[in-house]
Structures are given as C-alpha cells and as structure tokens.
Amino acid sequence: MRGLIGKRVLVSGGSSGIGLAAARRFLEEGCRVFVGGLDAAEVRQAVTELRPYGEVSGFAADVSLVEGANALVDAAAEALGCIDVLANNAGIAWREPFLEITPEHFDRMLAVNLRGMFLVAQAVGRHMIGRGGGAIVNMSSTNGIAGEEDYAHYNASKGGVLLLGKTMAVELGRYGIRVNTLCPGYIRTPLNASIAGAMTDGEFEASHVADRIPLGRAGLAEEVAAAYAFLASEDAAFVHGAELVVDGGQLAVM
Ligand SMILES: NC(=O)c1ccc[n+]([C@@H]2O[C@H](COP(=O)([O-])OP(=O)(O)OC[C@H]3O[C@@H](n4cnc5c(N)ncnc54)[C@H](O)[C@@H]3O)[C@@H](O)[C@H]2O)c1
C-alpha cells in the first residue's frame, strides 16, 4: 500500500483477532504500531507476538470509560510521538434473543461498541487536528447494515458506528482527516468462538456459512487487516465517509 511507511498507527482492540492481524499488517507495511486491549496480560502477549514484525508497544484500558479511552490515546501519542492512523477496532458481541436482552446488557454492548468507539475517535480526532490530519477507520459490521437474529443490541451498536463514521467524515474532512468504516461479515476470531459456544469450528461454519456466503467460507482476520491497510493508505486518498464490506458476498444474497 502507498504512503504507509513510517506512519504511526493506534489499533484499539489490537490484542486479539482482527485487531491483532491489523497490527501485524501495519507493521509489515513499515508502520510503527501501538495496540490497545481490555486485558493487560493479553496486550503484553500481543506485543511479544508482534515484536518480530517491527516497532510495537501497547496499553490496556477499557475504552467504554472516558478515562480509559483518553489514557489509551495519550499513551499511544506519547509512545509513537503522534498518531497518523486510528484503527478503531475494539468491540464485543454475544447472542441473546431480543425479548431477553436486559437493559444492563444493552447498555454494556452500546458502551463498548458505540460509546467506546466515539470516545477513542474523538480523542484521536482532536489530536489529529493539531497535527494537520490523518486517517480513521471505524469498525462496524455487516450487522450494522442488516439485522441478524439474536443480535439486536450488537446490530444497534454497529448501525450506530456507521452513522457516527459518516458524520465524522462530514465534519473532519476539512481538517484533512479521512474517516471510513469497515463492515466485515463472519470472520474467524476468538469473538466468534465465544459466540459459537459449544459448537466445533465445523459445526459453527456449517450453521453460519451454508447458503449465506457465496464464497463458501468464513473470512480470515488477515483479510480484514488488508482492508484496514487499504483505507489507511494513500491508495484510498479519495475514499472518505464510505463503508467497505468484507463479507465474501454475504450481503449480496437475497
Ligand atoms: N469476528 C467477526 O466475525 C467480526 C465481524 C464483523 C465485525 N467484527 C468487529 O471487529 C472487531 C474485532 O473483533 P474480533 O472478532 O477480532 O474480536 P476479539 O474478541 O478477537 O477482539 C476484540 C478486541 O477488543 C478488545 N476489547 C473488548 N472490549 C474492550 C473494552 N471494553 N475496552 C478496550 N478493548 C476492548 C479486546 O481486548 C480485543 O483486543 C469488533 O469491533 C467486532 O465487533 C468482528
């Protein structure tokens, strides 16, 4: 990808799954990377795993809290010198029928997936304005575009992320900050493993993938990482306020 060498990248939720793959991809593109995550031991483990690929450090904080989001962005800005790219990736998911979702569960889903994304993006946006621009990629989902059974709270949070990103694009473009949104479909990560519960990989894939994904398989974290790299790069210099769907054709099915 053009224009990524030397860029300083904050990957929130970079200690696992898609974020971990994105952190590695940015390192392979010649970036310096700072990873966030909820669990300190997992962040340490990720940094150790990523070190062979380049200059990386990390910090654990809960992005749903104002202090957590600000501490993460401050730590990244200090470690990297500045932030050119934000992969705003941290998120949670679990299945629950609409009629059984408690207000507490609804609040937690929105607090991490929408409020957390807003808090990190706002802190980074303020930082980037002072630096003359940058690129922000927010993580939504195909579940932010179409409803999936048993995910009303998750779907609502990811739908919110889409319009958060479009509005950020409208307001921040004038400062040289490009804002785009990623919408992956089914990607093999620990998040999906927890959703699948007792199912084996094969059973999960059969129940979720059959008839739903024209390419006939779940996606890989590396395939979403490539989309992060593209949207952050100069190859996407005129891509702004857009959503990029990475779903093996799932949303193309009627
Ligand atoms: N896996 C999929 O199929 C899929 C599809 C579409 C979108 N997504 C989205 O991609 C993102 C990454 O998902 P994943 O599948 O890699 O999940 P994952 O569980 O492997 O990783 C989630 C990351 O978010 C971090 N995180 C969770 N809660 C946090 C909090 N309160 N504060 C700070 N960090 C927190 C975790 O520490 C971890 O680093 C999420 O936003 C998810 O909604 C995933």
Share of the chain above pLDDT 70, in %: 93
End-to-end CA distance of the chain: 34
Instruction: Please give the residue range of the domain that contains residue 49.
Output: 8-248
- Domain for residue 254, yes or no? no
- Domain for residue 3, yes or no? no
What's the pLDDT tens digit per position in 147-158? 999 999 999 999
- Residue 99 Cα to ligand 1 midpoint, Å, equals 24
- Residue 77 Cα to ligand 1 midpoint, Å, equals 22
- Domain for residue 54, yes or no? yes
At position 86, the amino acid (one-letter code) is L
For the chain, how many structural domains are there in total? 1
Asked whether the CA dihedral 191, 142, 7, 85 is positive or negative, the reply is negative
Does 220 contact ligand 1 (Cβ within 6 A)?
no
Q: Which residues contact 70 (CB under 8 A, 6 or more apart)?
A: 119, 123
What's the pLDDT tens digit per position in 76-129? 999 999 999 999 999 999 999 999 999 999 999 999 999 999 999 999 999 999
List beta partners, residue 164: none
Residue 233 has pLDDT above 60, yes or no: yes
In this prediction the pTM is 0.97
Banded model confidence at residue 190, pLDDT cuts 50, 70, 90: confident
Mutate to test the pocket of ligand 1, among 11, 15, 16 (most ligand atoms within 8 A of CB): 16
CATH of the domain at 184: 3.40.50.720
- Domain for residue 2, yes or no? no
Q: Give CA–CA dist 95/182, Å, rounded.
A: 21
Q: Give CA–CA dist 192/77, Å, rounded.
A: 31
Residue 182 has pLDDT above 90, yes or no: yes
